[in-house]
Amino acid sequence: MALYAFNRREDGNLAQAETELMFSIGKTYDLYHYLLLLVLEVADIASEKIDQALQKRMPTKEDLNPQKWFIDNLVINQLRKNAAFNKYISSKKLSWVNYSHIPRLLYNKMVTWDVYDEYMQAEIHNYQADKKFLIKLITDLFANSEDLQSNLEEQSIFWNDDMEYISSMVEKTLKKFKTESGENNLLMPLYKNEEDEEFVKILFRKAILNSKKCSELIDKNTTNWEVDRIALMDILVMQLAVTEVLEFPEIPVKVTLNEYIEIAKYYCTSKSSTFVNGILDNIVKEIRDEGLINKFGRGLIGDTLIDQE
């Protein structure tokens, strides 16, 4: 998407485009924490509802004996105390206070949700059961909420299509939570390491600088199509893929192709993945024949030509 935005810029300011790319990645990391915070907000509303029921002038039997499995969820309570989470939320001043209707909407949906009912009525409640329910809450109920998605898009243009990806990252995080880790359960870092961050910058920069070369390769290997007739997103996906093949010798060609075919399925048209796959196969064959692919180490994994040798 950053590459698409750059192609729409009139000033061709690469430095500014790179700054915006890194900012957008930071905003995605904000959303990761913001989604976790939303869980706590919904749990707080559940606790509030129980307190309100107990304060009725004539409380019912259910009011006096509320089910507290959700508000006592062991994983939620761990998250409340998580040191890294609280530090990040505090430093970024993330809060749902200006959008308090969203947690309430999600709470109302949750209490009528069959998965919630099964969880609350289950005979066995333990750490694993609590974790399983929490993951479903985020990946099913939250991720499919049109109200939440619409609100996030209103809050930030950088959150227009991040929900599916971020909910999967939250799922991976929670699956690694352990009861014995207490407040020190690890959250996912923004980057694995400095090399990971550098990879983003180099790929973006090289894709732009190599755009003419990539366009020529695409044009040459596209039968009955001219580059200006191909959808821009298809071109950009192929541009990134070719750049990665040429500029990152430690990444296997197959890994690159598989990754960008999946990206094409998500960002391009329904037929794009097949189209992109065919063109990239032809381009890779051409640049391999020309000796332009120079892989080493892990980059040789899955290379059939090397394997045959």
Q: What is the pLDDT of residues 262-303, one digit of tens each?
A: 988 888 887 888 888 999 999 999 999 998 888 877 766 666
- Angle ∠(264,232,220) on CA atoms, nearest 5: 90
| Same domain? 164 vs 39 | yes
Give me the percent of the chain exceeding a pLDDT of 90.
Answer: 66
**Position 41 in a domain:** yes
**Position 207 in a domain:** yes
Q: Model's pTM, two decimal places?
A: 0.86
Q: How many domains does the chain have?
A: 2
**Tally of CB atoms within 10 A around 118:** 11
pLDDT band at residue 307, thresholds of 50, 70 and 90? very low
The contacts found for 187-192 with CB under 8 angstroms, 24 or more apart, are 187/32, 187/33, 187/82, 187/84, 187/85, 187/88, 188/32, 190/25, 190/26, 190/29
**Position 44 in a domain:** yes
| Same domain? 178 vs 202 | no
**Position 10 in a domain:** no
**Position 15 in a domain:** no
| Residue 244, domain CATH | 1.10.940.10
**Position 18 in a domain:** no
Query: Which domain range does residue 280 map to?
Result: 194-308
